[in-house]
Structure 1
Amino acid sequence: MDFWEQIKTPGMSLKCSGLYLAQFRYTSPDLLAGGDGTKSASIVGDVYVHPSAKVHPTAKIGPNVSISANVRIGAGVRLIGCIILDDVEVQENAVVINSIVGWKSSIGKWSRVQADGDYNAKLGITILGEAVIVEDEVVVVNSIVLPNKTLNVSVQDEIIL
């Protein structure tokens, strides 16, 4: 298997996560989050939120989102088709679409971490490794960022080593 074949594997993680969440609707509906945007975040479709996560009531989440333990989601955040791993902070008005955000990462205010969602493309999803910092107002599109990096400029179609 060459490098690009290995890179495509995380795209399957997002696809499989969506399938698991859809299955929970029938097998374990109590695991799926609910919310109408008043006292809790607005939830669209199948979404899992770990009980220890703190989600601002003005956030809009889903479909196909999984939020792990000790995650902090700020006001006005929009999450679509993503996996947010443990101890991540997504600050106010940030957007995450078709991405995997690694443990202990931080996404700054008004930032975007997104991909087009084409799982067959070389960089069809965005992946942030462990402890990646995306500073305020930075856009990361169709990119892979290895652990312990800080992004203070926008990137597209890049692998940040």
Structure 2
Amino acid sequence: MNAMERGLADVPHVDKAPWVLAFGNEADGWDIEGDEDDDGEATGLPGERLVSDALGSFAGCWGDYHRASAAKIFNLPVDLIAALDPQRFEADAEDVALDDLGTLIQVIGGCRTQFGSCSVADMARFTNQHPTRIIQAMGNHPWMFLSGDRDNFAKLFIEHEGE
């Protein structure tokens, strides 16, 4: 059992079926209706490169990678992410840049809850980061904001306005 698998073993699966079953048309972002660079119909789904980069940051946060744990946290089918698995590499949790961490938070939040809310405490646990680092990373991403009790990370929620 590696560090990621041990650290996330008792995190329950999200109580909804995965809603992302394929990747959107925009490789580096969310395929949102009204995007100027859409080549086709907007799907509302994340792009393949966006999810792949987020998985790489996720592995960097843990210094390890475990596909089933990643699928559980992102609420994605294992077979969908199997082809995207980042190469195994060693990294310290502090090595993940704040911009990359912010994108990781957005992708986990979007995929896990279909842009519902997730607490700062849960996101910190999912990403193996301190809650204040989660809040710092969100500061670089204007489409995410916090709501709730700022004195209690378990009651302070990450919300999404869209991209």
The answer to whether TM tops 0.5 is no
State the TM-score, normalizing by the size of structure 1: 0.24
**Which fold has the larger relative contact order, with Cα–Cα distance below 8 Å and residues 6 or more apart in sequence?**
2
State the TM-score, normalizing by the size of structure 2: 0.24
Name the structure with the higher helix share: 2
